Each structure stands twice: as C-alpha cells, then as structure tokens.
Structure 1
Amino acid sequence: MTGGVGIGAIRIDPVPEVTYRLFPREFLFPTLTHEDAAANADWLAPGMLHPETLAVGMSFRSYLIRVRGQNILVDTCNGNHKNRPHAPWQHDMRSHAFLSALADLGLGVEDIHIVLCTHLHTDHVGWNTRLVNGQWVPTFPNARYVMNEAEFRHFEALVGTEGPRYSHIEDSVLPVVAAGQAELVPDTHSVMAEIGEEVFLSPSPGHSPGHVCIHARAKGAEAVISGDAIHHAVQFDLPDMMMRADWDPAMAAASRRAIMEHCAGSGALLCAGHIPFWTAGRISEGGQAFRLSPVEG
C-alpha cells in the first residue's frame, strides 16, 4: 500500500478503517464483464478484481490533510456500533482500526480541527459520531464539520422514510448539527486559503445530489480527494460504467470523467478512498480511457 504524500507544505495521509475486502460484482458494477477484467489485468493490482467471479476489492479509508497547524479529516468511514441491518459487513462494527490509524499519525480525536464530508452516505460519515452513555456525540469535539448544504437538505428530508435506510443521517449527521458543530456551505466553498496553500471544495454531483471533491494546492501542485466520484481503478478504463448506488448515473459519469481529465491534464494527484492498495496516484490519458499509477510520497 502506498503511504502519504507531500504537496509543498501540505501533508496528506491515509487513515484506513478497512484495508481490504472483497464484494460481489453486483455490489458495485452489475454490468462489468469478464472481457472488461481481462482487458485490465495487465495494470490492475492483484486482488482488485477476481478473475473468475469478478468480485471487487475495496478499501475504506479517510484522508488527513495537515497544513499550517490545521488537522483536516476528509470523510470518516463506517464507524462503530452503527445499526446497519441492510449491510451485515458494516452492522455494529467494533473495530479499533480507524482511531488507531489516527493515533499512528500522532493525533487523537481532540486534535482534529475540521471534518470535511464529500457526501453523506453511510460509509463516509460513520465516525462523525460515537456512542457515549447511550447517546451519539461528535467524535471530534473541537472540529467543525463542513457539509454541502444541498447534500444535507436532500438527506435531511429523507430521514424516517424507507425504514432504516437513512438511519445513518440520524446517528451520524444530525447529532453533529444538534451539537452546533456543523457548517453548511455551498459546493464551491473555500476551507482555507493562505499564502501558498489552499484547501477547497468543488462540485462533483451524481453519485449523490451534492457530492463534492476536496482539493489541496500548494506551490503549483495539487491533490484531489475524490470521495465516491471514483470507486475503483477499473473505472479509469471504463469511466462511463454505472456504479450501482449512483443517484444519477449519467451525471456521476460526467463528474467522474471531469475529475480524471482534470488530474490527467494538470498532473494533480488523485486520492480515492475505496481503491485498495493505492492510496494516491497519477492519472494518464489515452483515447477514451485513463490509467492510474500509484505514487509514494
């Protein structure tokens, strides 16, 4: 697995919760074929796609951005003790991996200044809160939690519908709002801008209505943390392939392709939290397809 990367004075490190897990093809890409897998076997890391079953290898990780004394956490994975009966692999997790990974980077929960949410799906907001004396409280007591307001309003309106489907909003988002730690912003929000460094949001809707990417720039270099705009490395070869949970598949494909084109054209690093083994990479373009090459910082 690749490690963290430096961009000028900015440091970006992965914070893993689940390093590797295989999911059935249908969990991500119902239309993926054996021909697709064979066409990408020469460059995908072993374990990303099972050659026979087409099972898909995934990871679940956050990213920590450190710049000018600010500790900024992008997304918070699945979380512990969460009631997810529709997802047995995620239901009532009791893992120390996430907070241990943060501790390995020298930080405790009180050291996080900002939590950035690319979107509000269950596997990206889980550690927003933790269970204390039977109550869901913000995991990071000193942080402001930055969310796209359009994304929040969309999911807020769905709370209480479709059984437990949106329970993650109730246990992992609304308690942050109730605690007064949420900051609802537009999809082009500047998180910080200093001389030489900046961190900001850009719109990438489609996987969810208000999905955003996080950009970190310093001295002409850039990294893009793509949330769920990109799930897996095979999508670089098949950027228009539908992901099962995309809210608007055509819009998601357009956002995905725009990110790939931006990174390929600018040389920006890509940090994609669900791609196993490769925590950061560079994108190259060739015709209608792209390729991702892992980098070490």
Structure 2
Amino acid sequence: MRIDLVPEIRYRLMPREFLFPDLTHADQQRNADWLGPQLLHPDTLAVGMAFQAYLIRARGQNILVDTCNGNHKSRPSAQWQHDLRSHNFLTSLADLGLRPEDIHIVLCTHLHTDHVGWNTRLVNGEWVPTFPNARYVMNRAEFDHYKAWLDRVDDPKKVMHGSIADSVLPVVDHGQAEFVSDTAQILTEIGEEVFLSPSPGHSPGHVCIHARASGAEAVVSGDVIHHPVQLDMPDLVMRADADPDLAAQSRRKVMEHCAGTGALLCAGHIPFHSISRVQEGGQAFRLAPAG
C-alpha cells in the first residue's frame, strides 16, 4: 500500500478571517518557535494553506481521496476558487503515473466546494464525472443533508456555492455515486484495509479515511484540521465549522489517535508538512517529521 500527495494549490496565504477570526497575536507568539511566517504571519496573522488530495494505491486499486477546487466552477463569493483554469491537479495525478481513467474509487471526506471540485469537469457545456471508471463514495448522511437543503431553495448556488449542483449531482445522475455509512469498509484484504470513520462537526457527515497495512496507518483528515495552529489550540473554531463544539471533539479524537498510534496525519490544507506525525504534549499537540 502506498499513499501520495496530489496537490492542486501547494501554497496560498489567506487572511486570518478566512479561517480563524478569533486568532490573536498572543496565539501567534506562543507558536512562533515552530510556525514560521509562511504558516502564520506575525504581523497580519495571515495563515498559510494548501489545497490538496491524496492517492491511495492498494491491491491494484487507485483510490483518490477528495478532489480539491476544480476548473470552471462559478464561485463569485469565493474569488480564490472562482473559475479556475489550472492544470495542476491533473498534472499532479499524471506525475504519479495515472490518468483520470485509471482511478477506481473517489472517496469524499465531505462535500464542501474545495473538496469535490474535480469530481466533475466541463465538457461541451455539461458537467460530467472527471473519473469515468470510478465509483464515488460518499457518506449517506452528508449527501442527504445537502440534498435536502438544495430541495428547499430556489437557486442551487445558495447551497455550498453551487458545488452540490455542479460537482455532486452530476455524479449521481451518471450512476457513479455510492452512498455508505460513516464506518464503511472500502477495501479489506489480509493485513490491509481502507475504511471510513465518523468525524462530524465541520460538516454534518464529515468522515476521515484510514489506510492500514503491515502494522502502519495513515489518516486522511479532510477538514477536521485546517492548520497546524490547531494542534496547539484544538478548540480553535474554524469559521465554517457547522457545529464548532462537535468539530473540536472530532479534531481532538483524530489528534489523539495519531499521537497514540503513530499513524500518519495526511492533512487537506497544511502546506510543507502535509504528511506528518503528531506528538502530544500536555493539552497541546505538535507536528513531527513523518520519517
């Protein structure tokens, strides 16, 4: 089994308010010894982010976890991802030796815009699945929540900036969606497994993806953790957390699991240290090199 990073945007400095409106200069100063200005700017408190997916290869199966922002998606209220025309994501996949046709499974940690964008691409004015031979696996509770919301509004762009309509429903319409529970087993072989675990809070049905083989484990954490400063402050509220208290519980659970088992943390938005270990120290955690 092998897990690799699939970056779309390797690094971008975002305003503090985009992630953590409550972050203070005292928080930055406490973490300055391990979070440099590229990750947490000492003056503006701007936060360094990445937008990236992960590829798990096991038993001949190519499993893609999340699909970032995508191209041509209309997101006028989120200018940093509006109408992108970037080859980075598919190029990153090609650098790993794969074409879209080679992906067997797409796993969605959740259905926010920056995690489902490449689920589809625009072909002759129609949104079609980017990965034509893949089954797209989603937590049933997550999908049902957003589908019910979509059914209540008059404009699909009011739901997740339109991403359910342009990046999720076309997959369903093409018959490639598979809805599962938040503890579903995706792959089970002797000594190897890929499975989901519940981690709600950032979104109603958020899940983490676990890959285990030969006594080692990696956890693809989606948006349970957005930035390394949250390892020092696990209760720090992210602006878009649907249920901040529940999100903090899920965050601590993942951190404690990784620190206690030695599992690799594969973060969706942490640049430079995307695949790391987690070390526990008192009430706070720290990232450590994966090697």
What interval of TM-score do these two structures reach, taking the shorter chain for normalisation?
over 0.9
Shift of residue 46 of structure 1? 4.2
Any idea what SS the aligned residue of 2:253 has?
Answer: helix
Shift of residue 295 of structure 1? 2.1
Counterpart residue identity of residue 228, structure 1: D
Match of residue 227 from structure 1:
222
Structure 1 position 283 matched with structure 2 position 278: yes
**Identity of matched residues, %:** 73
Contact 1:192-1:199 at 8 Å conserved across structures: yes
Counterpart residue identity of residue 24, structure 1: P
Instruction: Map residues 39-118 of structure 1 onto 2, 5 A cutoff.
Output: 39-118=30-109
Larger displacement relative to structure 2 (41-50 or 206-215): 41-50
**C-alpha distance in 1 between matches for 2:85 and 2:57:** 28
**C-alpha distance in 1 between matches for 2:283 and 2:220:** 23
Q: What is the number of equivalent residue pairs in this alignment?
A: 287
Match of residue 269 from structure 1:
264
The alpha-carbon distance between structure 1 residues 134 and 251, as it changes in their structure 2 partners (threshold 3 A), is same
Match of residue 7 from structure 2:
16
The alpha-carbon distance between structure 1 residues 221 and 162, as it changes in their structure 2 partners (threshold 3 A), is farther
Shift of residue 279 of structure 1? 1.7
Gaps of 5+ in 1: 1-9
Q: Identify which of 196, 200, 209 aligns with 1:201.
A: 196
Instruction: Map residues 19-34 of structure 1 onto 2, 5 A cutoff.
Output: 19-34=10-25
Which one has a larger percent helix, Structure 1 or Structure 2? 2
Contact 1:232-1:275 at 8 Å conserved across structures: yes
Counterpart residue identity of residue 96, structure 2: L
Any idea what SS the aligned residue of 1:124 has?
Answer: helix
Tell me the TM-score normalised to structure 2 length.
0.97
Any idea what SS the aligned residue of 2:233 has?
Answer: coil
The alpha-carbon distance between structure 1 residues 235 and 196, as it changes in their structure 2 partners (threshold 3 A), is same
Structure 1 position 138 matched with structure 2 position 133: no
> Where does structure 1 differ by over 6 angstroms across 4 or more consecutive aligned residues?
none
Any idea what SS the aligned residue of 2:149 has?
Answer: coil
Deviations 1:255-297, CA, capped at 9 Å, x for gaps: 000000011111111000100111211111111100011325x
Match of residue 128 from structure 1:
119
Greater RCO (CA < 8 Å, at least 6 residues apart): 1
Pairwise CA RMSD: 1.0
Q: Identify which of 161, 165, 168 aligns with 2:158.
A: 165
**C-alpha distance in 2 between matches for 1:162 and 1:249:** 28
**C-alpha distance in 2 between matches for 1:203 and 1:287:** 25
Match of residue 29 from structure 2:
38
Shift of residue 158 of structure 1? 1.6
Deviations 1:28-57, CA, capped at 9 Å, x for gaps: 001100010111111124400111000011
Counterpart residue identity of residue 158, structure 2: R
